[in-house]
């Protein structure tokens, strides 16, 4: 079996480091933290860090990828297959897979709040938007009639907008329930800029 994913010592080391990363990012942002501070906080020898990760950027990458993988899984499994008109549904209920996504955001809010905040990682924002774009492309292109606005700009607009809502939620203290946010996202995506852009 793959020793790398079963040996409890390895799992512990990685778990501690990811925990330390989340904590230290919250405290002083990603750029201000060092490998030394990371290993000290995790109570891990500094040399051990370099067995598993190249540098702090590598550690961050791995953590981000874990989150993104889970996002993709949720979207893949829950994506609406049949082509419905959601404009009625969305008056009162969020799209189910969007709700699951927001719930997952909520579970990882400590990490995400920092990584999507002003001291965070803009490349993660882009990865997240790319994920949304992939799905929006399907959703939008099949319903697009003749918009005076290029499709790629429309998609950039909506995906960035969704990200903005999520960022605002995390930043302002998550006062709304995941369901409320999922509903906001669903409504804005389905009903929002669509009308103006010439969707039918």
Partner DNA sequence: ACGTTAATCAACACAGTGTTTATTAAATAG
Partner DNA sequence: CTATTTAATAAACACTGTGTTGATTAACGT
Q: Is 173 in the site for its own copies (CB under 8 A)?
A: no
Q: How far is the CB of 173 from its own copies (least distance, A)?
A: 12
* Residue closer to its own copies, measured from CB, 44 or 155: 155
Considering only CA atoms, give the Rg of the chain.
19
DSSP, collapsed to helix, strand or coil, labels residue 172 as coil
Q: How far is the CB of 37 from DNA (least distance, A)?
A: 7
* Residue closer to DNA, measured from CB, 5 or 142: 5
In sequence order, which ranges of the chain are alpha helices (DSSP H)? Answer: 8-28, 35-42, 46-52, 56-78, 96-107, 109-115, 122-141, 151-171, 178-191, 194-197
**With contact defined as beta carbons under 8 Å apart, do 193 and 174 qualify?**
no
Q: Is 43 in the site for DNA (CB under 7 A)?
A: yes
Which one of residues 148, 179, 199, 200 is an interface residue with its own copies (CB under 8 A)?
148
- Binding segment for DNA (CB under 7 A), chosen from 21-29, 32-40, 155-163, 174-182, is 32-40
Q: Is 2 in the site for DNA (CB under 7 A)?
A: no
Place of tokens 């390895």: 10
Residue 153 and residue 158: Cα distance in Å, rounded? 9
The token pair at 195 is 């009308």
Q: How far is the CB of 69 from DNA (least distance, A)?
A: 22
Which one of residues 67, 158, 178, 182 is an interface residue with its own copies (CB under 8 A)?
158
* Residue closer to its own copies, measured from CB, 48 or 198: 198
* Residue closer to its own copies, measured from CB, 44 or 53: 53
Closest CA to 86 of 162, 194, 198, 197: 194
**With contact defined as beta carbons under 8 Å apart, do 94 and 179 qualify?**
yes
Which one of residues 46, 79, 80, 153 is an interface residue with its own copies (CB under 8 A)?
153
Q: Is 165 in the site for DNA (CB under 7 A)?
A: no
Q: Is 129 in the site for its own copies (CB under 8 A)?
A: yes
Residue 69 burial (C-beta neighbours within 10 Å; 0-12, 13-18, 19+) = exposed
What are the residues binding its own copies (CB under 8 A)? 31, 117-123, 125-126, 129, 148-150, 152-153, 156-165, 167-169, 172, 184, 187-188, 191-197
């Amino acid at each position: 079996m793959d020793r790398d994913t079963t040996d409890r010592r390895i799992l512990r080391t990685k778990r501690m480091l990811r925990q330390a990363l989340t904590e230290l990012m919250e405290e002083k942002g990603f750029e201000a933290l060092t490998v030394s501070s990371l290993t000290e906080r995790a109570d891990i020898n500094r040399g051990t860090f370099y067995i598993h990760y190249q540098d702090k950027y590598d550690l961050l990458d791995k953590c981000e990828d874990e989150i993104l993988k889970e996002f993709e899984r949720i979207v893949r499994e829950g994506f609406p297959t049949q082509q419905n008109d959601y404009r009625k549904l969305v008056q009162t209920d969020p799209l189910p897979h969007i709700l699951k996504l927001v719930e997952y955001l909520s579970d990882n809010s400590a990490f995400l709040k920092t990584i999507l905040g002003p001291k965070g990682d803009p490349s993660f924002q882009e990865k997240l938007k790319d994920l949304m774009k992939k799905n929006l492309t399907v959703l939008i292109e099949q319903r697009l009639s003749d918009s005076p606005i290029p499709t790629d700009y429309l998609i950039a607009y909506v995906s960035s907008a969704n990200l903005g809502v999520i960022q605002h939620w995390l930043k302002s203290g998550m006062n709304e329930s995941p369901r409320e946010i999922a509903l906001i996202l669903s409504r804005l995506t389905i009903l929002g800029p669509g009308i103006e852009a010439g969707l039918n």
